[in-house]
Amino acid sequence: MRRSFALALGILACDEAPPPAPPELAEPAADVAAEPAPEPFVEHTLERGQTLWDVARAYGVTTEAILEANELRPRDVRRLSVGQVLKIPGVTERAEVTRAAEPVPVEELPPLEDGAYHVLAPGETLWDVASTYDKSVDELIERNALDDDGVRALRPGRAIVVPGIRDRDVRRAEPAQVESRGIRHTVARGETIWDLARAFGVSVSQLMAANSLSPDDVAALREGQRLFIPGGGDRSRRSREDRLTPRQRRALADARRLGLGTKEVAQQLLRGQVDPRWMRAAGGNRLPGTLRWPVSNGRFVRGYGSGEGSYHLAVDIAGDIGWNVRAAAPGIVAYSGDEVPGYGFMVLVVHPGGWVTMYAHNSINFVVAGERVPRGAVLAELGSTGISRGPHVHFELMFGGENCDPATLFRPGVRHRSRLARIEQHEWTVRDERPEGLQCDRRRRHPRSRWVIHE
Which among 92-100, 171-179, 225-233, 389-397 is the span making contact with Zn ion, rule CB under 5 A? Answer: 389-397
* Nearer Cβ to Zn ion (138/316): 316
* Nearer Cβ to Zn ion (135/361): 361
Which among 25-33, 59-67, 179-187, 316-324 is the span making contact with Zn ion, rule CB under 5 A? Answer: 316-324
Least distance in Å: CB of 189 to Zn ion?
A: 32
Binding mask 4-43 for Zn ion (x = CB under 5 A): ----------x-----------------------------
According to DSSP, the residues that pair with 356 across neighbouring strands are 350, 398
Which among 18-26, 77-85, 312-320, 375-383 is the span making contact with Zn ion, rule CB under 5 A? Answer: 312-320
Residue 156 contacts by C-beta under 8 Å, 6 or more apart in sequence?
Answer: 103, 120, 121, 122, 123, 124, 212
Least distance in Å: CB of 26 to Zn ion?
A: 13
* CB count in 10 Å sphere of residue 192: 14
If one asks whether residue 219 binds Zn ion (CB under 5 A), the answer comes out as no
Cα–Cα distance between 200 and 179 in angstroms, integer?
16
Residue of 128, 139, 254, 316 interacting with Zn ion (CB under 5 A): 316
According to DSSP, the residues that pair with 87 across neighbouring strands are 43
Which among 204-212, 311-319, 342-350, 442-450 is the span making contact with Zn ion, rule CB under 5 A? Answer: 311-319
Least distance in Å: CB of 312 to Zn ion?
A: 6
**Beta strand pairing status for 410-411 and 291-292?**
parallel
Least distance in Å: CB of 238 to Zn ion?
A: 34
Least distance in Å: CB of 118 to Zn ion?
A: 39
Say how many residues touch Zn ion, by CB under 5 A: 4
Least distance in Å: CB of 337 to Zn ion?
A: 18
Cα–Cα distance between 201 and 78 in angstroms, integer?
26
* Nearer Cβ to Zn ion (128/316): 316
Task: Write b or e for each residue in 296-318: b if 16 or more Cβ atoms lie within 10 A of its Cβ, otherwise e.
Answer: bbbbbbbbbbbbbeebbbbbbbb
Least distance in Å: CB of 445 to Zn ion?
A: 16
**Measured between alpha carbons, how far is residue 84 from residues 46, 47, 59, 98, 279 in Å?**
5, 8, 17, 16, 55
* Nearer Cβ to Zn ion (351/446): 446
Cα–Cα distance between 312 and 9 in angstroms, integer?
13
User: Cα 219 to the chain's mean position, in Å?
Assistant: 18
Binding mask 394-413 for Zn ion (x = CB under 5 A): x-------------------
* Nearer Cβ to Zn ion (14/210): 14
Of 102, 85, 6, 100, the residue nearest 53 (C-alpha): 100
Q: Name the residue whose CB lies closest to Zn ion.
A: 394
Where are the strands (E) in 258-405, listed by range?
A: 291-292, 299-302, 315-318, 324-326, 331-337, 345-350, 356-362, 364-365, 372-373, 378-381, 392-399, 402-404
Residue of 161, 251, 314, 438 interacting with Zn ion (CB under 5 A): 314
* CB count in 10 Å sphere of residue 417: 15
* Nearer Cβ to Zn ion (64/316): 316
What is the Cα gyration radius of the chain?
A: 22
* Nearer Cβ to Zn ion (9/367): 9
- Applying the rule CB under 5 A, the residues between 266 and 295 that interact with Zn ion are none
Chain residues binding Zn ion by CB under 5 A are 14, 314, 316, 394
